[in-house]
Chain A
């Protein structure tokens, strides 16, 4: 039965539909809704795992299932599950929209699952738009209307601008090659790679994805949107949505990059610009979410190095980095969500004395920040090591050197966070943080994952390599 291949997507769609109906049926009931969403998203992870081996083509070849797409679907449903774990306390979301909040989370995940499998330019466009529109709405759901609306409108305006650029690029690409399927593009593109229409079309098409990935010339929305969105939504944008976009960029580059130096050069320039700008701008941020926004821009730069290195090793390193980002970014956001004062954003200085208030959270913060900074033995170190190794094999020494300098620069603001959490003293002693028992397990599991994958990354590397091979 071919429809079984479509299992995770169908399931997530049905759950989203269920929440929509529920929102018409009754008002929100925070605790009940949370347990429900938690159970349903947990089942989603199980179903995606069960469909891990699915392979085939659906919808007249516009939709491809292989190890690459299935692994990313598991990562996405897992990301959704983690985010729902954070939604026990959704005080920041407007009360009357709390059921719709879950609806949009599930729809957005559905769209990203479609995105990683899509093979047709229009399918990719539709999936990307569906996920973007869900996020635009999610961002505006913040209870503090001024912040949420400002963030949402900034996100929306830059977003539709990037989308229109991308559509124009796709039109040019179609005009130059006459192909809309990625596998056809891969065959036709090398012949026309020298023509202006193909080059400009490719660059503009990638513009839309770089917007979602927050790469340098398209990064303007990131800081304001992260700051204004509800914490859970910010966490979702920073983890699941980034993983999906990294996946689709890898897929597109793997399809169109037939040893063309054009694209490599452009990607190298964007990568250097993103990481330099992200790291320098992050230094002066006081707001934790703004700081993480700029660190996201820098991490997009590192991921691009893996992608532009190309070949199985390059793509595998990018896949590894995406999975690592999911875990470490989420752990930082877990701390941010738990500690955020009501109605406001968490400032870096407010972390002072965290060590005394909750040793577990302080440890989680330290491990995840070390991981983001790339200090061994954490998963983040392995990710960076793997990416830089891939680039060195291709002889991109200068690029790796610049990236290394950036890593050192980024240590400054990462260590400031840890300094605040461990050495800072606050004037008045804030109360100890009460963390429910399941959240403790989750935090412990995340710390363990980051450390174990840092010591023994072989299974994850094998997986990333298998994923990258299924792409070639």
Chain B
């Protein structure tokens, strides 16, 4: 982008704001025009097929308000937590030689912290698919 030259009376970025506002107005006008045309010209016929929920062509059955078991959610969260571990380890692996032992110790510390987290989940029963025992 080329720099906007300093006007004598206008503050430096005012021309940029003007074009932005103009652009915004044009976009809004265009969208409004499209909506109006679609509303005015378009035909509306309600039918059973049309109001059915779209499920990629499969005819839906039953209600959508299911209760999912909580463990699905827990597994997703645990996955996210330990997935981040991988991100750090990959980055470390790239510069493994440059960082030397310092980096190695820091990574070991990081992994130990995560392992303690894993142990915590395990002990407290977060990994049991069914709630077989109430955690302490």
Contacts and interface: CB of A to CB of B under 8 A. Distances in A.
A196 B13 contact: yes
B116 A20 contact: yes
Interface string A192-210: 0001100000000000000
Contacts of B116: 17, 20-21
B120 A24 contact: yes
Given A17-B116, A196-B13, A24 B123 contact: yes
A20 B120 contact: yes
B120 to A, nearest CB: 6
A26 B135 CA distance: 11
Interface residues of B, number: 8
Interface in A10-47: 17, 20-21, 23-24, 26-27
A74 B116 CA distance: 29
Interface in A235-294: none
A365 B124 CA distance: 42
A26 B136 CA distance: 8
B89 interface: no
B93 interface: no
B111 interface: no
A27 B135 CA distance: 10
Contacts of B75: none
B13 A24 contact: no
A96 B135 CA distance: 8
Nearest to A26: B136
Contacts of A17: 116
A17 B115 CA distance: 12
Contacts of B120: 20, 23-24
B26 interface: no
A416 B6 CA distance: 59
A182 B136 CA distance: 46
A102 B130 CA distance: 29
Given A17-B116, A20-B116, A20-B120, A27 B13 contact: no
B14 to A, nearest CB: 11
B119 interface: yes
Interface residues of A, number: 10
State the main secondary structure of chain A at its contact with B: helix
A302 B123 CA distance: 48
A24 B119 contact: yes
Contacts of A24: 119-120, 123-124
Interface in B12-34: 13
Contacts of B123: 24
Interface in B105-128: 116, 119-120, 123-124
A443 to B, nearest CB: 35
Nearest to B16: A196
**Most chain B CB inside 10 Å of its own CB: which residue of A20, A24, A96, A195:** A24
A27 B124 CA distance: 11
Given A17-B116, A20-B120, A96 B136 contact: yes
B129 to A, nearest CB: 20
Contacts of B124: 24
Contacts of A20: 116, 120
A23 B120 CA distance: 8
B114 to A, nearest CB: 13
Q: Which of B120, B135, B136 has the most CB of A within 10 A?
A: B136
B91 to A, nearest CB: 15
Nearest to B124: A24
Nearest to A197: B13
Contacts of A195: 13
A26 B123 CA distance: 11
Interface in A57-106: 96
A150 B99 CA distance: 46
Contacts of A96: 135-136
B97 to A, nearest CB: 19
A225 B135 CA distance: 27
Nearest to B116: A20
A356 B116 CA distance: 51
A21 B136 CA distance: 14
A196 B4 CA distance: 14
B32 to A, nearest CB: 29
Contacts of B135: 96
A20 B135 CA distance: 15
Nearest to A99: B136
Contacts of A196: 13
A362 B128 CA distance: 51
Nearest to B121: A24
Interface in A298-333: none
Contacts of A27: 136
A139 to B, nearest CB: 19
A41 B132 CA distance: 37
| 8 closest residue pairs by CB, A with B | A24-B123, A27-B136, A24-B120, A196-B13, A96-B136, A24-B119, A20-B116, A20-B120
15 contacts: A17-B116, A20-B116, A20-B120, A21-B116, A23-B120, A24-B119, A24-B120, A24-B123, A24-B124, A26-B136, A27-B136, A96-B135, A96-B136, A195-B13, A196-B13
Interface of A: 17, 20-21, 23-24, 26-27, 96, 195-196
Interface of B: 13, 116, 119-120, 123-124, 135-136
Given A24-B119, A27-B136, 7 more contacts: A17-B116, A20-B116, A21-B116, A23-B120, A96-B135, A195-B13, A196-B13
